[in-house]
Structure 1
């Protein structure tokens, strides 16, 4: 791939998704964009680059962006965050939201929906404690393909084997040929929307908890800061932000501080 084409694709991806690619990731660009080139009846990445520069076709730009954004996910991924939600976050919310009995949770960059559905199943298991409560879970992703997959709630054998307890598979899924369909009750607990984290986040409304795990690692420093400060505006004073185990707010924003004794959990810093 020509250096100028690589730079052009990198600029495009950074502007549209926040994704930052270094020169050692050229192989990733080539492997993921060739299927896009073929879809648009183009023979090479050189032709794809020419098409981008000449057409600026929004559908083409969307296909390129979606092909490059990482869609790695699994049920109850890393487990610890879900244990924290059950043992730390949920008791906190039950105590502090007792008057209005309402909780809103956002799974940002939700990919194919496993994180949001894991939360829905966890909350279903806590049904007795949540009697009379209104629970809203929103999952968003910039990929229309991933959002549609999440809404369908249909997963392969490989996908349900990754992190999903067998008891939950039996209880909440039905086998459909060689795939597994999540039941309507759990699917109905999650709403999905196509949304870009670089867009204005205020239309999404307020949340009590935001999951934004393993997303910021793909952004440069200014973009990380922009996204975190936008998310801070969506949380109440006692709201909670989840980040991935390898992520931090330190040196990026002063809007959040780590929650003492709880790795990966952050609360709003005092003003």
Structure 2
């Protein structure tokens, strides 16, 4: 019953489902919260949520259950190619939206790739987790996080060491608009984007929600703009508004005129 209640809470708040292969994470994610609250078990913790007396607790539980797996330059070749492609199709300053940005490594990677090409850009990064957005906005990462995918050359150029952490230069962080936003429940950022990254997000959403999210993305992408999904994701069977780009491998283009949201 507790697993069902947790799954229902997560899906209602975020549209995400707890996959069978992620169920093991529940104890790991929630036991520290239970201990902090003096609850003897996760069942006791959920009893507090069910009686509605602590909405902040429900937020913390949802945050803990979200999959925030990310790293710098994840699929590095794809990031570099996307930076080139979006710059090529933009008619002015490239406008880019990173949806489901987690703790910020993806938009920061893209910002580094663009800045190294001397491309002035506008980048909006959103995530359903307020905690993840707060961390992303700080630009602070542990030694473990900084070593995941970030070449030493870029680490030394764009980050400064502060104790055991590394902090991104404000030149990068402040040029990104960080915003908490729910892909399923909230309106997307103002449209007209040249590129939208929505990588490894659709995979976790309930299947019936994916077409709705893709439609919102289509309305936010300007004609000629490009969409990038995760390597294991596709629009096939989920949206007729996108097709694989004939010009840029691994990216999608609108099949219709699109339009701003």
TM superposition score normalised by structure 2: 0.92
Match for residue 187 of structure 1 among 173, 179, 182: 173
In structure 2, the partner of 1:267 is 253
- Deviation (angstroms), 1:56: 5.5
- Deviation (angstroms), 1:263: 4.5
SS at match of 1:208: strand
Match for residue 64 of structure 2 among 59, 62, 67: 67
Match for residue 157 of structure 2 among 158, 171, 180: 171
User: Is there any run of 5+ residues in structure 1 with no aligned partner, and where?
Assistant: none
Match for residue 112 of structure 1 among 100, 103, 115: 103
Rate the CA distance shift 1:267–1:53 in 2: closer, same or farther, 3 A. Answer: same
Q: Which moved more, 1:74-83 or 1:198-207?
A: 198-207
C-alpha distance after superposition, 1:178-201 (max 9, x if no partner): 111111111122121111111232
In structure 1, the partner of 2:234 is 248
d(CA) in 1 for partners of 2:220 and 2:201? Answer: 18
TM superposition score normalised by structure 1: 0.89
d(CA) in 1 for partners of 2:137 and 2:83? Answer: 24
d(CA) in 1 for partners of 2:86 and 2:21? Answer: 40
Rate the CA distance shift 1:168–1:38 in 2: closer, same or farther, 3 A. Answer: same
SS at match of 1:237: strand
User: Is there any run of 5+ residues in structure 2 with no aligned partner, and where?
Assistant: none
Q: Where do 1:82-231 residues align within 5 Å?
A: 82-93=79-90, 97=91, 101-127=92-118, 130=119, 133=120, 135-231=121-217
Q: Aligned-pair RMSD on alpha carbons?
A: 1.7
- Deviation (angstroms), 1:5: 1.7
Rate the CA distance shift 1:182–1:232 in 2: closer, same or farther, 3 A. Answer: same
- Deviation (angstroms), 1:85: 1.8
- Deviation (angstroms), 1:26: 3.2
d(CA) in 2 for partners of 1:244 and 1:231? Answer: 15
C-alpha distance after superposition, 1:188-227 (max 9, x if no partner): 2212111111123245443221100011111121111111
d(CA) in 2 for partners of 1:71 and 1:87? Answer: 27
Rate the CA distance shift 1:25–1:202 in 2: closer, same or farther, 3 A. Answer: closer
